[in-house]
Amino acid sequence: MEVILKYFDDFSATQLDQFGQLQALYSEWNEKINVISRKDTDALYTNHVLHSLSIAAVCPFNDGMRVFDIGTGGGFPGIPLAIFYPEVEFLLVDSIGKKLKVVQAVADAIGLKNVKVLHARVENIPQQEFDFAVSRAVAPLKELWQWGRPFIKKRKSTTLANGLICLKGGDLAQEISESGLRPSLWPVDDIFPEPHFKDKYVVWVGK
């Protein structure tokens, strides 16, 4: 938890309580359903929570916006972002029902009112509009854009134009080339200078 407060200091008492509960909740659920790497459980706040919040550092969301998390897995980046932005509506989508069971349980336990979960493949989501799609290490950029683009409203709702914001790592040159897109990249270790974030990036594609 300390690593979160190292970079952010404007949380309400409710937000502090919600972030503070995540370690115990994920540790407990991970014993039943493996939703994050077991070796990462002790480093939850750096490897998962702070990593998710690098999206907030790059692109602030405004109250009333709608965001959907493609392939949320155990709830990242969706759950930390939903705590960070209590007035933004989040839809967390995954095709694996048991993972969403954990996500829903965590959201209920900490009292998140701005999160809905949907058990579906992205291509089967009922048509609706969002300001942004977010994702973390789910699929190549080309596929993420194909999945997310039809749902994104074309306008500028905040500092960046509406679009896709995803978290990726490693050498992305080939993946970007194959996507045919021209994304913007921010090194996460420039945002949060922690060793874990070396060669990790926030990637944005505007609609």
Structure token pair of residue 93? 């989508």
Cβ contact 166:135 at 8 Å: yes
123 is in an annotated binding site: yes
Confirm whether residue 71 is marked as ligand binding: yes
Ligand-binding site membership of 143 (annotated): no
Classify burial at 2, counting beta carbons within 10 Å of its beta carbon; exposed 0-12, middle 13-18, buried 19 or more: exposed
Helix (H, G, I), strand (E, B) or coil at 85: coil
| Interior/surface letters 164-179, b for 16+ CB within 10 angstroms, e for the rest | bbbbbeeebeebbeeb
Structure tokens at 13: 């008492």
Alpha-carbon span 46 to 66, nearest angstrom: 26
Distance CA(1)–CA(4), nearest Å, equals: 5
122 in a labelled binding site: yes
Task: Please check if 205 is assigned to a binding site.
Answer: no
- In the annotated binding site for S-adenosyl-L-methionine, the residues are 71, 76, 122-123, 136
- In the annotated binding site, the residues are 71, 76, 122-123, 136
